[in-house]
Amino acid sequence: MLRLTERIVQGLGEPAGVLRLPFHVRQKSRFRAELTDGTEVGVFLERGLILRGGDRLRAEDGRMVLVEAAAETVSTVRSDSAPELARVCYHLGNRHVPLQIGAGFARYLHDHVLDDMVRGLGLGVHCEQAPFEPEAGAYGGGHRHGDDHAHGHHHHAH
């Protein structure tokens, strides 16, 4: 079994394999999985990290593995109206729903009750298969900057 012990946010060179994982697994620091080629791996990372698509993990023998966000069943809300989309994000956030926010859309793991709530707010919901990369939150699990640099500390000033 290949032991993956270090996260490298940006890495160069061709990876030795691909580790495709859903969000609920990418939140864990210790787990077993298989690379897309069937190679068994054990992941042993610092607690509190959230793996993101594009991260690389270094094995004890120096090999690098690319992390991919697996497609999951998600609900996607699209709107050209920033106030409408902000209102939806506000109500989903009040329910502590992990939420991916992008230009003109918000996405969460599919839940028909939440879908009904969003429709009640006047927006449509599309259930689809897509990678899920929710916001990490303000108080832990790292965060993302515009340059896709993620790191796990508690606060800093910009």
Exposed, middle or buried, 94 (CB in 10 Å: 0-12/13-18/19+)? exposed
- State whether 56 and 76 are in the same domain: no
- List, in order, residues 6 or more apart from 128 with CB less than 8 Å away: 73, 74, 76
**Does residue 154 or residue 45 have the better pLDDT?**
45
* Residue showing tokens 């606060």: 155
Structurally, how many domains does the chain consist of? Answer: 2
List, for residues 113-131, the tens digit of each pLDDT value: 999 999 999 999 999 999 9
The structure's pTM equals 0.80
Q: Which of 69, 94, 117 is the last residue of a domain?
A: 69
Please provide residue 129's backbone torsions phi and psi, each rounded to the nearest 5 degrees: -100, 120
Is the Cα torsion angle 74, 79, 85, 87 positive or negative in sign? negative
Q: Specify the pLDDT at position 154.
A: 34
| Chain length of the chain | 158
Cα gap 117→108, rounded to integer Å: 13
Query: Confidence band (pLDDT; 50, 70, 90) for 13?
Result: confident
Question: Is position 142 within any domain?
Answer: no
Q: Alpha helices of 58-111 — where are they, by DSSP H? A: 82-94
Cα gap 53→27, rounded to integer Å: 12
Q: Mean pLDDT, the chain, as a whole number?
A: 87
State the residue range of the domain holding 60: 2-69
Q: Alpha helices of the chain — where are they, by DSSP H? A: 23-26, 82-94, 112-120
Instruction: Report how far Cα 35 is from the mean position of its chain's Cα atoms.
Output: 18
Domain CATH number, residue 121: 3.30.70.790
Exposed, middle or buried, 75 (CB in 10 Å: 0-12/13-18/19+)? buried
Question: Is position 150 within any domain?
Answer: no
